Amino acid sequence: MKDHEKSIKRVLAIETSCDDTSVALVRDDGWVEKLSSAHQDLVHEPFGGVVPEIASRSHSEALLPLIDLVLTQSHCHWKDVDGIVVTSRPGLVGSLLVGVVTAQTLSFSLDKPLIMVNHLEGHLMAGFLSDSEVTKVPQFDFPYLGLAVSGGHTHLYWVKDFGVYQVLGHTVDDAAGEAFDKFAQMAGLGFPGGVQVDRRSQQGDANRFTFPRAMIRENHYNWSFSGLKTSARQLLSSLSEEERRLNMPSLCASYQEAIVEVLITKLARAVSEFKIPRVLITGGVSANSRLRTKALEWGHEAGVQVVVPPLKYCTDNAAMIGYAGILRLNKGERSLVSESPSSRSLPHDFMGFM
Ligand code: KG4
Ligand code: ZN
């Protein structure tokens, strides 16, 4: 039997596109046997953002021990692994390179099929993952609308089928996560900022301050968050130190509400225009408690199935990459060991504009 005719049951997946080193063992039914990640927040924190050189060095240090750990803890041997999957785009090239070169070496030396996948396709597969703590989402299937909101992306996709993705819209400037992080930096709340803003918002009044909701009424699916950021900077600089401190929970809640409202408004419009009553929200920002609550409430009222996978599958992780890869391997696709990583998606990854 030729290599591409063999059914792939289990893959080892590697994700190093930004600042999380992640390794997973994933089965062809979406069952995650093991997922382990090493986060780099502490090393980047003093710089207020991800420093590419530090990110790639940290990946090089963390990756091989993580692969060992995943195999050992799941009592799995290389002979039980049918293929190798790695994120090759989009992302920080130096970070991607660590994962890609490692995956190529494993594939070549162990004679296992290799597939390189798009990180965003991975995010879009998060709704199909399950494990001993996470039940498979009932009746979740193609087609659906996928909102991917992270530190680097804010994209709305029409996921027509596996591998058939149309970009309906995206941010024209900052990503939603970036808007959270930049606000947190301006307000002196630390890095990464989204979780800090979310936490402080719990005690705040979301109606206390008015922030702009750019393009909310415009009949397209793009977002813009740069005006929001400017408006926050002006407001913060008009307040005294004491006023800032006293109002911080409400500043956070009002700023957060502006982001959440524009995301949900556009999503709701797309659901009614394309008549697809199934939505996946994924990416690091889907951890936001207000976004989760508002999306689930809206879904309930509008009769839309809203799936927000558990956080470990929404933030950058190798399990989602593994599942996308195993589907591609089982379609007979293979990557060459000579293929390079890319900072951008490739033209055939998505239909529509990027
Ligand atoms: O998907 P992710 O882990 O990494 C990529 O950017 O690809 O997303 C990280 C982003 C950061 O901008 C972070 O501030 C944001 O997700 N984030 C949040 C929350 N938790 C993480 N944003 C808002 N609320 C949160 N609770
Ligand atoms: Zn991501």
| Whole-number pLDDT of residue 42 | 84
Q: Are 145 and 270 in contact (CB under 8 A)?
A: yes
CA distance 90 to 117: 9
Nearest to 347 by CA among 90, 66, 19, 7: 90
Q: Is the pLDDT of residue 4 over 80?
A: no
**Beta-carbon-side half-sphere exposure of residue 151 (alpha carbons within 13 Å):** 21
Determine if ligand 1 sits within 6 Å of the CB of residue 150.
yes
Sorted by sequence, the CB contacts under 8 Å of residue 78 that are 6+ apart come out as 71, 110, 112
Ligand 1 atom having least distance to the Cα of 193: 14
Using CA atoms, how far apart are residues 106 and 100, in angstroms rounded to an integer?
10
Q: Is the CB of 180 under 6 A from ligand 1?
A: yes
The pTM assigned to this predicted structure is 0.93
Cα 52 to middle of ligand 1, angstroms = 17
Band of pLDDT at residue 337, cut at 50, 70 and 90 = confident
Say yes or no: CB of residue 94 within 6 Å of ligand 1: no
pLDDT of residue 268: 97
Distance 283 CA to ligand 2 centre (A): 6
Q: Count H helices, E strands: the chain?
A: 11, 10
Over range 287-307, report the average pLDDT. Answer: 97
Report how far residue 184's alpha carbon sits from residue 192's, in angstroms, rounded to the nearest whole number.
8
Asked if residue 52 has a cis previous peptide bond (ω within 30° of 0), the answer is: no
| Owner of token pair 């606000």 | 183
Please state the separation of Cα 66 from the chain's center in Å.
20
pLDDT for residue 3 is more than 70: no
Question: Taking CA 118 as the corner, what is the angle to CA 8 and CA 196, rounded to the nearest 5 degrees?
Answer: 115
Q: How far is the CA of 316 from the centre of ligand 2 (A)?
A: 5
Query: Between these two residues, 45 and 303, which has the higher pLDDT value?
Result: 303
Region 298-317: mean pLDDT is 96
Q: Mean pLDDT, the chain, as a whole number?
A: 95
Instruction: Decide: 91 in ligand 1 pocket, CB within 6 A.
Output: no
Nearest alpha-carbon partner for 354 in 135, 145, 90: 90
Ligand 1 pocket check for 198: Cβ under 6 Å:
yes
For the chain, percent of residues with pLDDT exceeding 90: 88
Q: What pLDDT, on the 0 to 100 scale, is given for residue 1?
A: 53
CA 287 to ligand 1 center in whole angstroms = 7
Tell me: pLDDT of 49 over 80. no
Distance CA 87, CA 184 (A): 29
Least confident of 7-11, 88-92, 133-137, 287-291: 133-137
Which tens digits make up the pLDDT trace of 76-128?
Answer: 999 999 999 999 999 999 999 999 999 999 999 999 999 999 999 999 999 99
Q: Which of 231, 237, 240, 301 is nearest to 259 (CA)?
A: 231
What is the position in ligand 1's atom list of the atom closest to the CA of 178? 12
Q: Is the pLDDT of residue 64 over 70?
A: yes
Helices of type H across the chain: 41-44, 52-73, 93-110, 119-124, 176-186, 193-201, 226-238, 241-274, 289-302, 311-314, 318-330
pLDDT tens for each residue of 147-200? 999 988 999 999 999 999 999 999 999 999 999 999 999 999 987 799 999 999
CA torsion, ordered 117, 182, 176, 57, to nearest 10 deg: 10
The rounded Å distance from CA 294 to ligand 2 centre is: 22
Protein residue with its CA nearest to atom 13 in ligand 1: 194
| Run of H or E residues at 307 | strand 305-307
Q: In the predicted model, what is the mean pLDDT of residues 272-295?
A: 96
Other beta carbons within 10 Å of 179: 29
* Residues 17 and 95 sit within 8 Å (Cβ to Cβ): yes
